[in-house]
Structure 1
Amino acid sequence: MSFYDKSSIVLMVQNPYTVFCYYNISDVDIRSIEDIYGKNSWETSKPILKVYEICDNTEKEISTIYLDPFADNWYINLNKDDISVKVEIGRILESKDEITLAVSNVVKTPRGKESENTQVLYLDTSLWKTSTKIYNYFL
């Protein structure tokens, strides 16, 4: 089985409020859907991305995005920062049934603002052993 025999999706963090995904839908999966749901089921169905927030091992769907049929990547805007996210790519059939083709990895977006913790911490380095070998290396 080659890489292209299996549908896949990869999710990456762009910034605190945006993630990016790229995906590949295999010909094997397309033929399989047409075998199960009918000859024209692929053409009459619509491609979608389902976005999930993961919190305490619980998945909560936060949006469904209808994709351009010719796209192979997508930027996803989020309403929150500092969250764990995953996406599923699939199709919605005319019968309103949803088919999942691939599930992405989970990513965590960074905070969108500075930390509220303003405490300053100092480190006493006078007790550290110094090595001239290491010191000379950086000179």
Structure 2
Amino acid sequence: MDEKIKDIPTSMPTSIVERKVEVVPQITDLPTSYGDTKIVLLPRDPWWCFAYWEIGEQTKQEIKNLYGENVKYVIRVYDVTNVINFDGKNANKYFDIEINPLANNWYINVAETNRSWCVDLGLITPDGKFIVVARSNIVMMPRYGVSPLTDEQWAVLQREFERLLELSGVSMIGKGSFDIAKLMRERWEELLAISQLQQFISSGFVSSFARREVEQLPKEFYLKADTELIVYGETLPDAKLYINGDEFKLSDDGRFSLRMSLPDGEKVIPIKAVSSDGTMQKEIVFIVIRKSEIK
């Protein structure tokens, strides 16, 4: 039997379908430069700061046209501690660091702590003249050592410190977070009451009647005082440090700091550093005597 293929219409109904294509932006790396001429100074720790800079192409061409290529690039580091309106000529002192012309950042070691610094990116011509290319911001370095300031209202007395230590589980007494919260709340309310009372009296808005009310408070007189001991120092970062015979972890730059209670009596604190290969060692022994008198 013969089969006949039916004609298929050449024109078919069509429909328009809208397609929304979401364009995903390409993530590119940050540019290595922005065409500016500037230098920025950042503090790292009491002894080190970090500078990074950029010299624009136009500035590079001007340097080449005016001074040629036989110049030395330097960072001039100024000590501007307590200097008002630094202008490049009124620094306490300065020193130069010769740098590679292709460099764009540098770690700077400052020999003195607790100072303020500013740097110039510049060049020195063959005749010794210093040309400023860019000047940085002024930074005050992080302080080194124990702060001379104390805040008696927020000092944790030895008795309270020992209670907090016990509640933390050191003595395995099984206390819970409720006990810690209660102790902290009592301490907070005590400090808050003292602080508010002092601010209220010193504000100048207290009436004479209110002053009389303050004078009529219960005359229970007391005095609380205590001391603590802070031991700190430094050694080589790869050395091993022992305090009271126990190994103490050093920071990445070899420094250490330890806060200790200081009860009445004699306290002996041996501190020993041993080199990484074990061939050398140094030891310092602190002997601290506390004697309290209640009069």
Q: Which runs of 5+ in 1 are unaligned?
A: 130-139
CA distance in 2, matches of 1:63, 1:126: 53
Residue 75 of structure 1: aligned partner:
107
Describe the shift of the 1:127–1:61 C-alpha distance in structure 2 as closer, same or farther (beyond 3 A).
Answer: closer
Q: 1:50 aligns with which of 73, 76, 80?
A: 76
Q: Which residue of 2 aligns with 1:132?
A: none
Q: For residue 20 of structure 1, what is the aligned residue in structure 2?
A: 50
Structure 2 gap segments, 5+ residues each = 1-33, 85-89, 155-189, 197-295
Return closer, same or farther for 1:35/1:20 CA change in 2, 3 Å cut-off.
same
Amino acid at match of 2:122: G
2:121 equivalent in structure 1 = 89
Higher relative contact order, structure no. (Cα contacts within 8 Å, ≥ 6 residues apart): 1
Structure 1 residues 121 and 69: alpha-carbon distance in aligned structure 2, compared to 1, 3 A threshold: same
2:75 partner letter:
L
- Determine the structure 1 residue equivalent to 2:59: 29
TM-score (norm 2): 0.38
AA partner of residue 28 (structure 1): Q
2:138 to 81, 106, 130: 106
Q: Which has the larger radius of gyration?
A: 2
Higher fraction of strand: 1
Runs (4+) of structure 1 moved beyond 4 Å? none
Q: Post-superposition shift, 1:118? A: 5.0
Percent sequence identity over aligned pairs: 28
- 2:41 maps to which residue? 11
Aligned residues: 123
Distance in 2 between the 1:28 and 1:115 partners? Answer: 47
C-alpha distance in 1 between matches for 2:59 and 2:137: 20
Residues 52, 128 of structure 1: CA spacing in aligned structure 2 closer, same or farther, 3 A cutoff?
closer
Counterpart contact for 2:48–2:110, Cα < 8 Å = yes
Q: 1:133 matched to which residue of 2? A: none
